[in-house]
């Protein structure tokens, strides 16, 4: 019997986008057994009314509105996770539209290739046209450290978590964008996993509240169980980031231009120099974050170090290897584990090719 799928969607003040998000979901969801658990996190803009209008059903996934007193997105995700009746769960943001018809079937097909597949994540593109993510790497060869697969890389080199940095326009990232591949983690905008695995990993860690790092943390927890994560380019989603921030951007346009200039200069500085300057001024001088967001990042990086045993910004890969070597967390530096992932990709490609021949 095909597994039931539960879509987990925290919602907060997205009235201007919800109809579009739900319309696209209805248009492109063809899987027969899907529930949508929309947890409204104390919205004040009429979002609950829009969800109630969609709740009676008839089009798209069966929507169930759960109203939360405003404890944040991570609490909303955990509420949905524990309420879900599906064997498989999809985390989907409230400002993300699904653009691929039959997307759930495509994700399930990869999930079912091998029991080791624990997470499947789609291609996420910003509404401005650049790529948001093609999966996430934090330990692998294109993660938060020097590119390459050797575990003893120089300390002090950092790359961002996207596999495509700097982010190109869609269609310009080559095989990183177009090929199925093993990755460290999915991205919370659009990723599928087994509910039992997420619960066994402890669910979404509330220490990451209000947002950020929670999706990667959950995926590494699922990897600790012996599972793998894969990027599936066949599923495309659009993250409407510009649409949700239009008002803020229009009010701060001159400041954004000035900060853009400073950011370009900052990119030329070695990471340790940038970090020392930013810690001295207590501000993300070369980036895009507010003071509150900088404080959150400092907390999150400290907690990451305490929980996972390495500095996400400036990791010592020998330290990572000592703690997690021989596990799926260090798959990228383990030839046998890399080969196992490549076999899964090859088997999936074979199945996909056979399906294409049957439907040609």
pLDDT digits 0-9 by tens, 232-258: 999 999 999 887 654 444 444 455 455
Alpha-carbon distances, residue 26 vs 7, 11, 87, 103, 302 (angstroms)? 12, 17, 21, 11, 41
Residue 252 lies in a domain: no
Supply the DSSP symbol for 96.
Answer: E
pLDDT digits 0-9 by tens, 17-58: 999 999 999 999 999 999 999 999 999 999 999 999 999 877
Residue 266 lies in a domain: no
pLDDT higher than 60, residue 282: no
Determine the average pLDDT of the residues in 185-195.
Answer: 97
Return the structure tokens found at 24.
């696209």
Return the structure tokens found at 65.
């509105």
The reported pLDDT for the residue numbered 146 is 40
State the DSSP H helix or E strand holding residue 90, giving kind and residue range, or none if neither: strand 88-92
The reported pLDDT for the residue numbered 273 is 61
pLDDT higher than 50, residue 339: yes
CB neighbour list of residue 177: distance below 8 Å, 6 or more residues apart: 123, 131, 134, 164, 170, 171, 233
State the total domains in the chain: 1
Count of C-beta atoms within a 10 Å radius of residue 9 = 26
Residue 109 lies in a domain: yes
Domain residues for the domain of 126 are 5-244+325-359
The reported pLDDT for the residue numbered 156 is 44
**Could you give the CA distance from residue 193 to residue 216 in angstroms, rounded to a whole number?**
13
Weakest-pLDDT range from 70-84, 135-149, 220-234, 321-335: 135-149
Output the domain CATH number for residue 30: 3.90.550.60
* CA end-to-end span of the chain: 27
pLDDT band at 276 (very low <50, low <70, confident <90, very high): low
Do 106 and 100 touch, CB atoms closer than 8 A? Answer: yes
Residue 186 lies in a domain: yes
Residue 215 lies in a domain: yes
**Could you give the CA distance from residue 238 to residue 25 in angstroms, rounded to a whole number?**
12
CB neighbour list of residue 253: distance below 8 Å, 6 or more residues apart: none
DSSP letter string, 100-154: STTHHHHHHHHHTT-TTEEEEEEEEEETTSBEEESSB-SSSTTSSS-SSS-SSPP
pLDDT digits 0-9 by tens, 68-104: 998 999 999 999 999 999 999 999 999 999 999 999 9
pLDDT band at 307 (very low <50, low <70, confident <90, very high): very high
Nearest to 307 by CA among 193, 214, 234, 174: 214
Do 22 and 92 touch, CB atoms closer than 8 A? Answer: no
Determine the average pLDDT of the residues in 216-228.
Answer: 98
Residue 291 lies in a domain: no
Write the burial class of residue 33 (CB in 10 Å: 0-12 exposed, 13-18 middle, 19+ buried).
middle
Count of C-beta atoms within a 10 Å radius of residue 184 = 28
Residue 329 lies in a domain: yes
Residue 40 lies in a domain: yes
**Could you give the CA distance from residue 163 to residue 135 in angstroms, rounded to a whole number?**
7
């Amino acid at each position: 019997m095909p597994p039931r799928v539960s879509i987990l969607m925290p919602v907060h003040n997205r009235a201007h986008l919800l109809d579009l998000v739900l319309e696209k979901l209805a248009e492109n969801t063809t899987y027969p057994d899907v529930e949508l658990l929309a947890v409204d996190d104390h919205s004040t803009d009429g979002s609950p009314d829009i969800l109630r209008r969609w709740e009676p059903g008839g089009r798209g996934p069966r929507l169930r509105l759960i109203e939360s007193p405003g404890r944040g997105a991570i609490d909303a995700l955990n509420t949905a996770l524990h309420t879900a009746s599906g064997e498989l769960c999809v985390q989907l943001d409230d400002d993300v539209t699904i653009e691929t018809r039959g997307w759930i079937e495509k994700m399930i097909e990869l999930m079912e290739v091998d029991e080791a597949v624990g997470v499947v994540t789609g291609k996420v593109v910003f509404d401005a046209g650049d790529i948001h993510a093609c999966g996430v790497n934090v330990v692998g060869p294109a993660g938060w450290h020097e590119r390459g697969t050797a575990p003893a890389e120089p300390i002090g080199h950092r790359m961002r978590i996207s596999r495509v940095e700097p982010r190109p326009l869609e269609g310009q990232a080559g095989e990183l964008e177009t090929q199925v591949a093993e990755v460290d983690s999915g991205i919370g905008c659009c990723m599928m996993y087994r509910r039992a695995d997420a619960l066994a990993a402890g669910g979404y860690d509330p220490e990451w509240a209000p947002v950020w790092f929670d999706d990667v943390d959950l995926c590494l927890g699922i990897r600790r169980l012996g599972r793998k994560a894969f990027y599936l380019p066949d599923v495309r989603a659009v993250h409407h980031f510009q649409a949700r921030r239009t008002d803020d951007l229009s009010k701060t346009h001159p400041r954004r231009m000035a900060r853009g200039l400073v950011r370009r200069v900052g990119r030329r500085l070695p990471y340790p120099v940038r970090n020392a300057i930013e810690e001295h001024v207590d501000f993300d001088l070369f980036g895009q974050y507010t003071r509150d967001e900088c404080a959150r990042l400092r907390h999150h990086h400290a907690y990451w170090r305490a929980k996972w045993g390495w500095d996400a910004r400036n990791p010592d890969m020998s330290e990572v290897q000592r703690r997690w070597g021989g596990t799926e967390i260090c798959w990228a530096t383990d030839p046998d584990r890399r080969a196992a992932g490549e076999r899964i990709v090859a088997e999936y490609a074979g199945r996909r090719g056979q399906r294409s021949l049957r439907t040609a």
